[in-house]
């Protein structure tokens, strides 16, 4: 999934993609899912969760509302964006403003009904409905409230995004399962028995994520050629533009490294990947079951295959520190 941005109304699928981007941006900054959902319930009414939309589609009219929360006039945001190096359509700039500039710009004004600070709102575990109303009254102060609609929308976004709330644990479960297979020489590389006890490069990772609770196999992932479409449909983000393929800089634990036609591996952090590579005869098919060389399924240093893209499941980020290097083979 990725941002959809433009001066037009979005489909539900496009809003879902944008909502996930909002979640991915704000969750590491300490926001609760409840607060994010309460705000998204308002954004849906204000902008379709579209950072590029103008009020009434009046493109370039800086006297009307603009952006995710429909800053009115638009210059309340666009002047700040220009002064801080953001394009006005850049969703990162808009979310930075919301997260860190709301108070200094006087946008958040606690009301008697919702006497909470901005910091308390962002970390609140009140219901999404309650927080949708708090955001409406304290931040938006909309001329047309339609409060019940914003509240029900907040509940929808809470339910929708809850599937990603356990992302960190799912990432860790997928990584640990793949590492355990690499450590156990009862499992080797073979395309004939690729769903166990042996695996090939794609089935190893597909099964790892399926076991972790991300239904990529159930949704049709079966080989490197369809991993991209299925994995992204299951919530993985294409983060290729944010990493350096050559050095591996920016790649995180759990990231999927994908060459669409030939190979895939998974980062386990600290400059290492886990992968199913080749059988004992240097072939893809045949050979004995199990890992005859200790290198058929293994942990190795990062290398650029070359990879076409890097996919990341939401909710990760930090690399757990501990003993998880099971076998080192220079790459």
Q: Which residues are annotated as catalytic?
A: 46
Quote the longest CA-to-CA distance of the chain: 74
Q: Tokens for 89? A: 């359509």
81 neighbors 90 (Cβ within 8 angstroms): yes
First to last CA, the chain: 31
279 neighbors 286 (Cβ within 8 angstroms): yes
Of 316, 6, 325, 323, give the one whose Cα is nearest residue 170. 316
Of 204, 193, 174, 191, give the one whose Cα is nearest residue 278. 191
CA angle (135 as vertex; 129, 136 as ends), nearest 5: 90
Phi and psi at residue 300, to the nearest 5°:
-145, 170
Q: Tokens for 253? A: 């634990």
**Could you identify the residue written with the tokens 């190893």?**
204
Of 84, 89, 87, give the one whose Cα is nearest residue 66. 89
Q: What is the rounded distance in angstroms from the CA atom of residue 108 to the CA atom of residue 216?
A: 41
Q: Is the torsion defined by CA of 95, 96, 100, 105 positive or negative?
A: negative
Q: What is the rounded distance in angstroms from the CA atom of residue 273 to the CA atom of residue 275?
A: 6
């Amino acid at each position: 999934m990725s941002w959809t941005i433009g001066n037009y109304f979005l489909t539900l699928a496009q809003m879902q993609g944008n909502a996930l981007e909002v979640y991915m941006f704000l969750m590491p900054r300490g926001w609760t899912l409840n607060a994010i959902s309460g705000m998204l319930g308002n954004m849906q009414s204000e902008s379709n969760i579209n950072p590029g939309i103008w009020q009434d589609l009046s493109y370039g009219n800086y006297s009307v509302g603009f952006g995710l929360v429909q800053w009115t006039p638009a210059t309340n945001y666009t002047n700040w964006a220009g002064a801080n190096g953001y394009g006005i359509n850049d969703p990162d700039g808009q979310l930075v403003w919301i997260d860190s500039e709301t108070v200094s710009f006087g946008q958040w004004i606690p009301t008697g009904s919702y006497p909470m600070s901005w910091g308390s709102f962002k970390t609140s575990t009140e219901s999404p409905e309650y927080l949708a109303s708090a955001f409406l009254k304290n931040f938006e102060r909309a001329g047309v409230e339609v409060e019940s609609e914003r509240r029900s929308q907040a509940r929808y976004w809470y339910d929708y995004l809850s599937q990603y709330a356990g992302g960190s644990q799912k990432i860790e479960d997928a990584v640990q399962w793949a590492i355990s297979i690499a450590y156990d020489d009862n499992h080797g590389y073979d395309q004939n028995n690729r769903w166990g006890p042996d695996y090939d490069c794609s089935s190893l990772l597909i099964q790892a994520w399926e076991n972790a609770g991300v239904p990529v196999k159930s949704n049709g992932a079966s080989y490197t050629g369809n991993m991209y479409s299925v994995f992204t449909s299951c919530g993985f983000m294409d983060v290729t533009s944010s990493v350096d393929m050559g050095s591996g800089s920016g790649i995180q634990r759990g990231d999927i490294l994908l060459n669409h036609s030939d190979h895939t591996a998974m980062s386990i952090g600290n400059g290492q990947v886990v992968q199913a590579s080749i059988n004992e005869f240097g072939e893809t098919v045949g050979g004995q079951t199990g890992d005859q060389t200790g290198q058929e399924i293994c942990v190795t240093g990062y290398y650029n295959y070359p990879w076409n893209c890097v996919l990341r499941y939401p909710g990760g980020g930090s690399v757990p520190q501990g003993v998880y290097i099971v076998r080192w083979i220079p790459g």
